Amino acid sequence: MKPRKLARTIGRKARAAREAAWGLLHRHHPILAHLIPMRRCNLACGYCNEYDAVSSPVPLDVMLSRVDRLADLGTAMITVSGGEPLMHPQLEEIVAHQRRRGMIASIITNGYLLSRERIQALNESGLDYLQISIDNVEPDDVSMKSLRLLEPKLKWLSETAEFHVHINSVLGAGVKNPDDALTVARRARELGFNSGVGVIHDGRGQLRALGEREMEVYRELKRFGTRGDVRVNALFQDKLVMGQPNTWSCRAGSRYLYVDEDGIVSYCSQMRGIPGIPLAEYTHADVVREYGTRKPCAPYCTINCVQRVAVFDNWRSPQTVTARLRPAREAPPRPPGQEPGAGGQALAR
Ligand code: SF4
Ligand code: SF4
């Protein structure tokens, strides 16, 4: 590993360890926030309900003020996703501001807009983590996120990126050939990346049962080995793929925040509009309240990132109030072309 990349890896791990320790010691601050800089995406995956075709980027000053608000709430890590975050022309400035405010910076992208220059710009911004989900080996009518089309980008990342790269393969409804997940995971490892597997969920974040061959591939991927936080997700996924519920406390709205392009805080991408409070008005009292609020959708939930942060608290502080899973306020109607994608399902993030 090049000296500069090695130094950044050591620094990143030290900061992550410090944030993890603080997360264990202190219960009432967000560990992870998802921040949406634009809803627009350059692709139109058939299973996705998280994009539109025409919306504009959120202005930079608004994004920076949202980063500041999350920092003031004590947020440890922000993941910028979308839509497609690389379509935001000032993404690197948003990432750099996260780092200036002492947070861990991550993005989830489909990878299509990566170039050597953009990877270098992301290096300079201080990005810590980048995740790409690859759905198949060859593009099909459901998804263009294919290994063959992304291969040049993956090579550039392997040669140039100073941040950590995680490649996610997927299983579940809409994935035509489950064996593709194995091919994607093997290629990711060859290129020196971390890899994991996600299970596609329905439009409310809930499980779609896996078929026989998908189960075999899932078991093979587990034998193949996963690292780090993916093992945490395996604790949840093992039960879900067998159709069994998990017992856990979803701390969405507290340890995890989903902040959409309008600056509204939701539990997660599949529970948008709940609790539906603007981030600018979101307070420590909201974080404390949602920490103790039980989410009825938890047993069959497949939202990886929320489950990942839940391990900090599953052993303590039982939840005593039950959430009402309908929006506090109705979302305003969107102009033509800005409705969410029609797929009605989404990829577990
Ligand atoms: S899954 Fe990602 S790449 Fe595909 S349409 Fe949705 S936001 Fe875009
Ligand atoms: S359990 Fe939590 S993360 Fe999962 S769908 Fe419900 S609110 Fe979202």
Tokens of 42: 């350059």
Ligand 2 test: best mutation among 49, 240, 256, 297, most atoms within 8 Å of CB? Answer: 297
| Mean pLDDT (the chain, rounded) | 88
Residue 94 · residue 122 · CB < 8 Å? no
What pLDDT, on a 0 to 100 scale, did the predictor assign at position 200? 67
Residue 1: in which H helix or E strand, if any? none
Is 257's C-beta closer than 6 angstroms to any atom of ligand 2? no
Ligand 2 test: best mutation among 274, 303, 347, most atoms within 8 Å of CB? Answer: 303
- Minimal CA–CA distance to 255: which of 268, 240, 246? 268
Which ligand 1 atom is nearest residue 83's CA?
7
* Segment 31-47 mean pLDDT: 95
| Confidence band of 222 (pLDDT split at 50, 70, 90) | confident
Which ligand 2 atom is nearest residue 269's CA?
8
Closest residue to atom 8 of ligand 2, CA basis: 268
Which ligand 1 atom is nearest residue 347's CA?
1
Domain encompassing residue 223: 3-347
What pLDDT, on a 0 to 100 scale, did the predictor assign at position 225? 59
Per-residue pLDDT of 230-267, as tens digits, reads 454 667 878 877 778 899 999 999 999 999 999 999 99
- Minimal CA–CA distance to 278: which of 328, 321, 339, 205? 328
Within the chain, how many helices (H) and strands (E) appear?
10, 13
Residue 132: in which H helix or E strand, if any? strand 129-134
In the chain the first and final C-alpha atoms are separated, in Å, by 29
Residue 51 · residue 41 · CB < 8 Å? yes
Lowest model confidence (mean pLDDT) among 90-94, 175-179, 278-282:
175-179
Tokens of 63: 């994004």
Residue 348 has pLDDT above 60, yes or no: no
Number of domains making up the chain: 1
Tokens of 150: 């992304």
- Minimal CA–CA distance to 106: which of 83, 88, 122, 87? 122
Per-residue pLDDT of 110-144, as tens digits, reads 999 999 999 999 999 999 999 999 999 999 998 99
What pLDDT, on a 0 to 100 scale, did the predictor assign at position 204? 57
* Segment 293-300 mean pLDDT: 93
Tokens of 232: 């945490």
Ligand 1 centre and the CA of 294: distance in Å? 29
Ligand 1 centre and the CA of 293: distance in Å? 30
Question: What does the angle CA 121 – CA 51 – CA 206 come to, to the nearest 5 degrees?
Answer: 115
Is 113's C-beta closer than 6 angstroms to any atom of ligand 1? no
pTM of the entire predicted model: 0.90
Please tell me whether residue 60 adopts helix, strand or coil conformation.
helix
Please tell me whether residue 42 adopts helix, strand or coil conformation.
coil
- Looking at per-residue pLDDT, the higher value among 212 and 332 belongs to 212
The amino acid occupying position 97 is: H
Is 316 exposed, middle or buried (CB count within 10 Å of its CB: 0-12, 13-18, 19+)? exposed
What pLDDT, on a 0 to 100 scale, did the predictor assign at position 240? 77
Per-residue pLDDT of 152-186, as tens digits, reads 999 999 999 999 999 998 887 667 888 999 999 99
Contacts of 226 (CB under 8 A, 6+ apart): 195, 196, 197, 234
| Confidence band of 62 (pLDDT split at 50, 70, 90) | very high
Whichever domain contains 106, its CATH number is 3.20.20
| Confidence band of 310 (pLDDT split at 50, 70, 90) | very high
